[in-house]
Amino acid sequence: MCGQTADFFMLELIERLRRERTLSPDEFRALLNGCDVSSLVAANKEAREVAQSVFGNKIYIRGLIEIGNRCRNDCYYCGIRRSNVRIERYRLDKETILACCREGYGKGFRTFVLQGGEESESADDAMTDLIQEIRKEFPDAAVTLSLGEKPTASYERFFRAGADRYLLRHETRNREHYRFLHPEAMSLDNRLRCLGDLKRIGFQTGTGIMVGSPGQTVENLVEDILFMEEFRPHMIGIGPFLPHRDTPFAQCHAGSLAKTLLLISVFRLMHPRALIPATTALATHSPEGRELGILAGANVVMPNLSPAGERGKYSLYDRKVSTGAEAAEGLRLLERSLERIGYVIDYSRGDSPLTTDR
C-alpha cells in the first residue's frame, strides 16, 4: 500500500459500489489489489456515511458469554481446537450463565450472545433448557447463539426454545481453501447446509470470514464477497486472522489491519442494513482497532460478559483482549471511547432491520 493521492479509478469504484451496491468480479479484484492508503480512507468514509444513514451515530452492544471451550472440531486456526491439549477445558453451568445475563441485563445489555466450542448433540437438552430460561427471565432481550455446526433438528429446537439469532462464519467460500483451514471431517457443503438451515428456520443469521487467514487469496475474497451478496446475511463478522501458539498455524502472520478495514467498508457499502461488529480480533490486533472498525462502517460492539476467571481459557488466538472497553464491566470506557469519535451506545435489542433492502 503506497501512494499519496487516491487513485481516480479506485475512487470511481468505491463511489459506484456505494451507488449500485455491487461491482463485477474483475472490479472487486481491482479494488482489493489496488486500494492504497488514501483510497482506503475514502472507502471508510463512504461506508461510514452509509452506516450513519441507517443507524445514525448509534452503536449496538451485545454481551458475549463464552459458555465453554470443549470442542469436537479441529479447525487448524483455532486455539480451542480438539487437538490442543495445552488448554484447560471448561463448561459454564446454567446458573453461572444466568448470573452473567443478570449482570449484563443490569448494565443495560439487551442481547446475550452464547458462544462456545462445538459439543455433541447430547448437550442439546441442556442448551434448549438454558435458552428457555433466559427467555423467561429476560423476555425483552435477544438470544444469539454461536455454537458452530449442528444438525438441522438441533437448530430447529434452539429456535423453538426462543433463540433469535445465530452467528456462523462461512470462513471461506472456496472449497480448496476450506480444506486448507479445516480437517477432512469438516466440509464446506455442511457449513453451507447449516447456513441455509439457519436462514430458513428464521434466525437472523450472521456469517463472515477471517481476513488474512492462511492461504487466503484475493480471488478467495472475491468469492466470499459474491457469496455474501447472494446469501444476504443479517450480520457480518469480519476480523483479522490472529495466530494461536498451539495450532498448526502458529507461525502464520496476522491478517492486515488495512485489509480488514477495507473489507468492513466493502461489506457496509454492499449491505447498508447489516449488523457489522467491530470484532474483538480487530481490537486485539490494534489498540485503535475498535474505533477504526466503527469509522470503517461497523455498528456493533460485543463486550465480554463471561466470568472474569474463565476468560483466559477461551483463547481462540493469542493475547485475545477481554478487559477494558472490551469487557462488560468496562462499559463506561467503551462509552468514552465511542464518544471521542462521535458515537453513542444504543441500549436497545438492535434487531436486524434487514427486510426489503433491495
Q: Closer to ligand SAH at the Cβ: 92 or 281?
A: 281
77 is a contact residue toward ligand SAH (CB under 6 A): yes
Residues 267-296 that bind ligand SAH (CB under 6 A): 281
**Quick check: 78 binds ligand SAH (CB under 6 A)?**
yes
Cβ closest to ligand SAH, residue 61 vs residue 210:
210
Q: How many residues bind ligand SAH (CB under 6 A)?
A: 18
CA angle 11, 13, 16 (to 5 degrees): 105
Residue with cell 472498525: 293
> Is residue 317 a contact point for ligand SAH (CB under 6 A)?
yes
Question: Is 168 a residue that touches ligand SAH (CB under 6 A)?
Answer: yes
Considering only residues 61, 100, 198, 210, which one is a binding residue for ligand SAH as defined by CB under 6 A?
A: 210
Identify each DSSP E strand in the chain by its residue range. Answer: 58-61, 63-68, 111-116, 142-146, 165-167, 204-211, 235-240, 300-301, 344-346
Q: Is there a contact between 268 and 296 (Cβ–Cβ < 8 Å)?
A: yes
Listed residue (351, 36, 40, 47) closest to 203, CA to CA = 351
For 169: left if phi > 0, alpha if psi spans -120 to 50, otherwise beta; the answer is beta
Task: Report the distance separating Cα 345 and Cα 302, nearest Å.
Answer: 12
State yes or no: residue 115 binds ligand SAH (CB under 6 A).
Answer: yes
Q: Which of 39, 44, 111, 146 binds ligand SAH (CB under 6 A)?
A: 146
Q: Does 148 bind ligand SAH (CB under 6 A)?
A: yes
CA 124 to chain centre: 23
Options 82-90, 114-122, 154-162, 344-352: segment touching ligand SAH (CB under 6 A): 114-122
Q: Is residue 194 at the binding interface for ligand SAH, with CB under 6 A as the rule?
A: no
Q: What is the C-alpha to C-alpha distance for residues 20 and 218, in angstroms, rounded to an integer?
A: 22
Interacting residues with ligand SAH between 25 and 64 (CB under 6 A): none
Residues found near ligand SAH in the complex (CB under 6 A): 77-78, 115, 117-118, 146, 148, 168-169, 171, 210, 239, 241-242, 244, 281, 316-317
